[in-house]
């Protein structure tokens, strides 16, 4: 019995592997097509339900807070932003995130914080409460600003990013309060004006003033004597 050459066995194995990978690709594409069909069917049914009035259409938050002129809607969008910030602040604590993901997430949180501020300004403009003054500051306390970079905050693990941690370590020390004895150390004769005559400027000024006064006083005396 003649044995099959090695090269033929290799070709057969390669063909089998190729066929198997092609079948796998076909299965994946079929699964994707099914997902697409299901999502299309879902969208079609959702559109039908909205058309029949069974479901309310999903509202999108206005891009600009100034476009909203309804106080109730403005309050709703503010609450939605707060929920989004809370979710992202919780997510940024995840130890499995990479540095890039943390930076992106921190940027998103700061963007939402700014947007929240715009909605709070609009709410105040529409006659609602001043949330910047009376609102809860829990989300603000979660973040930390780098000294000299007011407005941008670091949340969760973003505080420990390379380069950021060092900035926090270089925080400007708070100035120490000076005692009364420290203040009196710099009080000398100059403070009380005892040395004002040393440069001669004060004496020169006094001499000029004396001459001016004599200019007016002498004629008066001469008139009095003549009388």
pLDDT averaged over the chain? Answer: 74
Q: Residue 102 has what pLDDT?
A: 92
Helix (H, G, I), strand (E, B) or coil at 227: coil
Residue with tokens 């500051």: 137
Buried b / exposed e over 63-86, threshold 16 CB at 10 Å, is eebeebeeeeebbebbeebbebbe
Could you list the beta-strand ranges (E) of the chain.
Answer: 144-145, 153-154
Q: How far is CA 30 from CA 35, 42, 52, 177, 211, in A?
A: 9, 18, 33, 74, 111
Q: Residue 16 has what pLDDT?
A: 62
Q: Residue 56 has what pLDDT?
A: 62
Distance CA 186, CA 190 (A): 10
Q: Which of 5-14, 47-56, 167-176 has the lowest mean pLDDT?
A: 5-14
Model confidence pLDDT, tens digit, residues 51-91: 776 656 667 888 899 999 999 999 999 999 999 999 999 99
Closest CA to 211 of 199, 201, 203: 203
Residue with tokens 């120490």: 176
């Amino acid at each position: 019995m003649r044995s099959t050459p090695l090269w033929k066995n290799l070709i057969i194995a390669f063909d089998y592997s190729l066929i198997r990978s092609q079948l796998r690709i076909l299965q994946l594409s079929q699964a994707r097509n099914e997902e697409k069909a299901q999502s299309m069917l879902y969208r079609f049914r959702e559109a039908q339900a909205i058309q029949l009035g069974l479901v309310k259409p999903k509202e999108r938050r206005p891009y600009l807070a100034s476009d909203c002129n309804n106080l109730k809607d403005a309050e709703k969008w503010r609450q939605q932003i707060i929920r989004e910030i809370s979710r992202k602040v919780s997510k940024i604590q995840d130890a499995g995130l990479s540095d890039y993901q943390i930076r992106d997430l921190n940027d998103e949180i700061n963007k939402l914080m700014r947007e929240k501020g715009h909605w709070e300004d609009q709410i105040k403009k529409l006659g609602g409460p001043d949330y910047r003054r009376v609102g809860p500051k829990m989300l603000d306390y979660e973040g930390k600003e780098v000294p000299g970079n007011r407005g941008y905050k670091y949340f969760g693990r973003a505080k420990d990013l390379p380069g950021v941690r060092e900035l926090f370590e270089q925080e400007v020390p708070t100035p120490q309060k000076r005692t009364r004895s420290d203040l009196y150390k710099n009080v000398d004769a100059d403070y009380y004006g005892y040395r004002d005559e040393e440069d001669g400027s004060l004496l020169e000024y006094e001499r000029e003033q004396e001459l001016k006064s004599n200019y007016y006083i002498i004629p008066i005396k001469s008139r009095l004597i003549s009388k």
